Structure formats: structure tokens, C-alpha cells
Amino acid sequence: MKTILIVLVILLILWTLWSIYISRAEQMTYTVLEKRSGYEIRKYDPYIAATVTVNKNGREGLNDDFRILAGYIFGGNESQKSIAMTTPVLTQEKTSESIAMTTPVMTQEKNNETSMTFSMPKKYSLDTLPKALDSRIIFTEVPSKKFAAYRFSWYYSENRIRTKKARILEMLKKDTISTV
């Protein structure tokens, strides 16, 4: 019993530290266009995206994508320079149909591939970003876009994400908002 309590305390401390770290991360800027019952319609400003795609999907694909992009921002670049983490992290899983996802994470499935995108801090342009050592990381300028944002917290599981995705799609359909 004492061991379980110690493990729970350690997990709580780690979760708290991670929450503090993420709350201080630079966020993509957006304007709330509409507040709806349970979600918002947001217009995100243009940003520089660092994207990687792997030939896996589900948790395994997301873990591989994250490891590659985190390696880049933690100094895995020609300058060996750390780059601040930003939020949200965007993901896409690819199978046979496009699926709008919750914000800050968006998913899409096709061809058993998973893509993850980190937005780069605003102080960088395509010309000033350190060059990635991993050629799988692709940098692009992303124009302003609109998203439906549905907030939820706690943990990630494929079943939970499916449930939350179904919920926001249900709300959007009810409000006759078309999705891509």
C-alpha cells in the first residue's frame, strides 16, 4: 500500500510539473470568432510548421512523430540550438477518410500514416529556423485557418479521442457547420 501511495505522489508531481511547463509554452495566436455551446470557432494566425510523417498509426505513430520533432527542438539541428516548445501540437492519422478532431489536437487518417506538426515560435521565419538534421522534418508556412475548438482534459487514449471526436462532430452537425 505504501509503495502505491509513493508511486501516485510521484505521478502527481510529474503531472503538475508538466502542466506548469506546458502552460508557459508559447501558443499559436487565434481570434475567437464564435462561442457556441460546448466549443468555439477560432481563426488561427499564419505560422511556420515543422511536420514529420511516419508509416505507422495510432499511439505508435504519434510516439515516433513526437520523438523526431522533440529531437529537433531540443537541439537536433545544425545549430545545436534548443527551440521553445509551442502549443498546440497537431496530429493527423491517415486511413480512408478525413476526420476533424478536437483542438488543440487534430487527427486525420489515411494510408496508415501519422503526421505530427509543431508550430514554430513566432520569432522564426523559414530563413531563420535552424536546419533539421533529420530530413523527414518538413518546414512550411501555413496560412490563417478556422477550426472548431473543443476543450477537454486529463488523459489520451484512442477510445477517449474517438469519443471526444464524435462529440464535437455531433455538435457541429447539430449547428449545421460543415467540416473538412
pTM of the model: 0.68
Residue-range domain boundaries for the chain: 30-174
pLDDT in tens, 74-127: 999 999 989 887 877 777 766 544 444 444 455 454 567 888 899 999 899 999
**Selection from 6, 4, 2, 43 nearest residue 145 by Cα:** 43
DSSP 40: E
Cell of 164: 471526444
Q: Which H helix or E strand runs over 147?
A: strand 145-149
The DSSP bridge partners found for residue 110 are 113
- CA–centroid distance for 4 within its chain: 32
- CA-nearest of 100, 97, 96, 92 to 180 is 100
**How far apart (Å, rounded) are the C-alpha atoms in residues 37 and 153?**
17
- Are the C-beta atoms of 104 and 47 separated by less than 8 Å? no
Class for the domain spanning 30-174: alpha beta
Summarised one tens digit per residue, pLDDT across range 164-176 is 889 999 999 999 9
Q: Could you report the per-residue pLDDT of 24-77, keeping only the tens digit for each?
A: 678 888 999 999 999 999 999 999 999 999 988 777 888 899 899 999 999 999
